[in-house]
Amino acid sequence: MARDGAVQTITLNRPDKLNAFTRAVHAGLRDALKEARDPEVRAVVITGAGRGFCAGQDLTEFGEMPDVAAALRETYHPNVLAIRALEKPVLAAVNGVCAGAGLSLACACDLRIASTEAAFVPGFVGIGLVPDSGGTYFVHRLLGAPRAFQWMASNRKLSAGEAEAWGLVSEVVEADAFPARTAELAATLAAGPTRAIALTKRLFDHADTATLEEQLEHEAQLQSVAAASEDFGEGVAAFLERRAPEFRGR
Ligand code: LHQ
């Protein structure tokens, strides 16, 4: 975990095993996401050490998992929910291969960029499992049901370029330029009006299941919250003074 100004970077760090999830990896992620709640943190990056992003569940720990559902509830679910609850943007910087619950983790984030070295593998179906850790929820929203189903029912490895063409990632960057581009994008996000960005995230999370009437009402309510922020005052003042706004995230 590293802090650079208002950006907190969380690096999954088991490079020899492509950062596959163990209990220790879950615990580290949980602590880091807790720390990311600090209001001084205005953007979070999740990435992987070495050549992988995250290969999902460590398959050698499966034996220690007599109750799979209980293990998911205890280890994966709190972290997925913590990412969605963070009131700031979370960027998945997919540096290398992601598979299984590692793919779900990337998709739980607010946006994804990929290195040319990245690849995306469903994983679950390859070992006879269903997508979990939000895999069905997020992938189906990102790709649409037909494409998501066809992909998750195969175990096809998607290249970074294909992932971009499908809209799974918003940008692909040459591997040697990837760390710098990640830092640049994270800094731009961190310099934004954090309250408004967080409220937008909340609105998007509800948009799929709301009626239009409900969503209009939700927007109106959260707009009154955004309109009470200091950053709104600064945004309007900067516009009128013809200068760039200096948002402070409150
Ligand atoms: C690994 C893993 C791995 C251990 C690579 N475990 N060592 C959660 C909990 C409860 C219930 C069920 O579901 C879940 C969620 C899930 O995530 S289920 C899906 C689990 N993940 C997978 O099935 C993916 C397995 N990995 C792969 O298919 C490949 O490794 C990928 C496509 C990710 C990468 O392939 P390569 O680039 O060819 O790398 P590699 O296979 O050579 O892996 C490098 C090393 O990492 C190797 O270790 P070694 O000591 O031989 O160098 C692998 O054994 C290890 N590794 N994934 N999930």
Query: Sorting pLDDT into bands at 50, 70 and 90, what band is 4?
Result: very high
Tell me how far the alpha carbon of residue 118 lies from the centroid of ligand 1, in angstroms: 15
* Separation of alpha carbons 38 and 183, rounded Å: 19
Q: Ligand 1, residues 16, 17, 22, 79: which to mutate, most atoms within 8 A of Cβ?
A: 17
Tell me how far the alpha carbon of residue 217 lies from the centroid of ligand 1, in angstroms: 45
Which residue's CA is the closest to the ligand 1 atom numbered 8?
57
Hey, which residues are catalytic here? Answer: 77, 132
**Among candidate residues 44, 53, 54, the one with its CA nearest the CA of residue 2:** 44
pLDDT value for 66: 85
pLDDT digit string, tens, across residues 208-249: 899 999 999 999 999 999 999 999 999 999 999 999 999 999
Residue 64 pLDDT exceeds 90? no
Query: Sorting pLDDT into bands at 50, 70 and 90, what band is 28?
Result: very high
Ligand 1 pocket member 98 (CB < 6 A): no
Query: Sorting pLDDT into bands at 50, 70 and 90, what band is 50?
Result: very high
CB under 8 Å to 117, separation ≥6 — which residues?
Answer: 51, 95, 96, 160, 175, 178
Ligand 1 pocket member 186 (CB < 6 A): no
* Separation of alpha carbons 24 and 27, rounded Å: 5
Tell me how far the alpha carbon of residue 226 lies from the centroid of ligand 1, in angstroms: 43
pLDDT digit string, tens, across residues 83-117: 999 999 999 999 999 999 999 999 999 999 999 99
Residue 136 pLDDT exceeds 80? yes
Ligand 1 pocket member 15 (CB < 6 A): no
Tell me how far the alpha carbon of residue 56 lies from the centroid of ligand 1, in angstroms: 7
Query: Sorting pLDDT into bands at 50, 70 and 90, what band is 130?
Result: very high
SS (H, E, C) 152-166: HCCCCCEEHHHHHHH
Residue 1 pLDDT exceeds 90? no
Q: Ligand 1, residues 57, 58, 104, 124: which to mutate, most atoms within 8 A of Cβ?
A: 57
pLDDT digit string, tens, across residues 185-212: 999 999 999 999 999 999 999 998 999 9
